[in-house]
Amino acid sequence: MLPLVLELGAIIQMDTVVWKLKLLKAGAAHANSQLNAVQAEVLFLASGNENLPPSGEVDRLFKTMKNCKVRYFRNRGDRLLMEDGFNLLAVIKGANMYRRGRQRESVKDFLPPTISEFNRTFGEDFKLFHQLLSPVMLSTMKNGKIVRGLAGVPDKGPVLFVGYHQLLAMELSSLVEGFLREKKTIVRTAAHPVFFAGNYETLRQELSLFDPFSMYAAAPVSPINMYKLFERNEFVLLYPGGVREALHRKGEGYRLFWPDQAEFVRMAARFGATVVPFGCVGEDDFLEIILDYNDEKNIPYLRDGIKSFNEDFTGIRDTVKGEDGNQVLHLPAFLPKVPGRLYFLFGKPIEMNGMENVLTDRKNANQVYLQIKSEVESAVSYLKRKRNEDPYRSITRRAFYQATWGPSAQVPTFEP
Ligand SMILES: *[C@@H]1O[C@H](CO)[C@@H](O)[C@H](O)[C@H]1NC(C)=O
């Protein structure tokens, strides 16, 4: 600043400059001493290129202020808001901070993604991932015929999808994209509360790993949120097996860990929702688990980390006792394989409208629940069997096909 100050000195009195600098210093000291009293939600946007705010400053603010999040844009300059392609609303939505009232309400305060957000997520951020997975989506028509695409899935909500949760939830983004692309419908995932908690907030991240979940309509899983979603005729995605399925152990692929009680059937019946059971396969064609929870809990350092991370998330699934209900969050270690392909089969829709007997009779509800569960299992075994007939299951054949027909051509699959 010195050259500037000297120049200024020719215009204004040096005394004035000194006085102003002192004032600034005192003001800054006062503001700093009050920062930890700020109750409001704060979102800091920091940029990397011009180092603004100065490095270290964001860290200090993050530690001082009670209720703040930081999104760090490594490759952007100091005029962040004016830069091309920077979308402030997308950042706010991703950070779970968009709200209309005093409190954020995850069902009501959701704003659907815009086309440019969709393009950014699925045309850039997730593009490679999706090319790798090359998802095949099949659905079942009313007459039982299986077709490629989502024609068998109802167009009107409320719809409840229930299905198998693959390792690391690898199917989730493909499912959300598929419905947006083909049906222009947003599927609202009933997700583990970890995605909305502060625990994963760490310093200096661009979009947090979990921001896309919030942008693409996840809401914390709870009976009250399910109620609100059905009331609004939404398309809701529920994984009864939850984290226990998505973070399963070695040798447990495609096994359902569903609770004994029919948790969702009665609510679906009350709202006359249509239940669509679905299966998906592919995880064993992409990943091999090297360290699972059973291994990790025997490693003291990892065990302590897992324990402390999970302290805030007890009681999510306390209806299932023992190891089968164990919803502990941890990260299994895995090795990638030569990529195969991801397949979905949406089963025949089950209309719950008029199923009053399910509401009054627990036995009936349980029967419907078991039927849904067995349809998920048969969808999984259908796909496991049929994918052997897919000439394009392996990435090498697909790459060859796309080299011939262009990257946007739909790669064929087995005859359903
Ligand atoms: C989104 O992507 C499509 C296809 O690439 C393009 O035609 C469209 O103009 C894009 N829309 C926006 C708003 O970016």
Query: Domain for residue 99, yes or no?
Result: no
Residue 339's pLDDT is 85
Name the average pLDDT for the chain: 84
Tell me: the pLDDT tens digits for 360-404?
Answer: 888 888 999 999 999 999 999 999 999 999 999 999 999 889 889
Lowest mean pLDDT among 32-46, 226-240, 292-306, 393-407: 292-306
Cα gap 180→117, rounded to integer Å: 12
In a domain, 108, yes or no: no
Partner residues linked to 336 by β-bridges: 287
Strands 343-346 and 274-281, sheet pairing = antiparallel
Has residue 412 been placed in a domain? no
**Quick one: how many helices (H) and strands (E) in the chain?**
16, 13
Q: How far, in Å, CA of 392 to CA of 411, rounded?
A: 7
274 shares a domain with 152: yes
- Using 50, 70 and 90 to split pLDDT, how confident is the model at 342? very high
Q: In which band, very low, low, confident or very high, does the pLDDT at 10 lie, cut at 50, 70 and 90? A: low
Domain tally for the chain? 2
Model pTM? 0.85
Same domain, 151 and 60: no
| DSSP 8-state class, residue 110 | -
Instruction: With respect to residue 293, please indicate whether it lies within any of the assigned structural domains.
Output: yes
CA-derived radius of gyration, the chain = 26
Test site for ligand 1: of 115, 127, 408, most ligand atoms within 8 A of the Cβ: 115
Site to probe by mutation for ligand 1, drawn from 114, 119, 121, 184 as the one with most ligand atoms within 8 Å of Cβ, is 119
Cα 209 to ligand 1 centre (Å):
24
Q: How far is the CA of 115 from the centre of ligand 1 (A)?
A: 7
Q: How far is the CA of 127 from the centre of ligand 1 (A)?
A: 14
How far the first Cα of the chain sits from its last, in Å, is: 71
User: Residue 154 corresponds to which amino acid?
Assistant: P
Domain interval for residue 28? 14-86
pLDDT in tens, 249-290: 888 889 988 888 777 898 899 999 999 999 999 988 888 877
What are the backbone angles phi and psi of residue 268, rounded to the nearest 5°?
-60, -40
pLDDT on residue 2: 60
Beta-ladder partners of 137: 344
Band (pLDDT 50/70/90 cuts) for residue 27 is: very high
* Shortest-distance atom of ligand 1 to CA 118: 1
* Assigned domain for 98 exists: no
Q: Are residues 267 and 141 in the same domain?
A: yes
pLDDT tens-place string over residues 86-124? 889 988 988 888 999 988 888 889 998 899 889 988 888
How high is the pLDDT of residue 204?
43
Query: 191 pairs with which residues across the strands?
Result: 220
Q: Which atom of ligand 1 is nearest to the CA of 120?
A: 14
Same structural domain, 242 and 349:
yes
**109 belongs to a structural domain:** no
Calculate how far, in angstroms, residue 120's C-alpha sits from the geometric centre of ligand 1.
9
**Does residue 101 fall inside a structural domain?**
no
Contact between residue 350 and residue 275 where contact means Cβ atoms under 8 Å apart: yes
Please report the atom of ligand 1 found closest to the CA of residue 115.
13
Residues 128 and 70 reside in one and the same domain: no
Q: Which atom of ligand 1 is nearest to the CA of 119?
A: 1
Closest CA to ligand 1's atom 1: 119
Distance separating alpha carbons of residues 183 and 112, to the nearest angstrom: 14
Contact 264, 236 (CB under 8 A): no
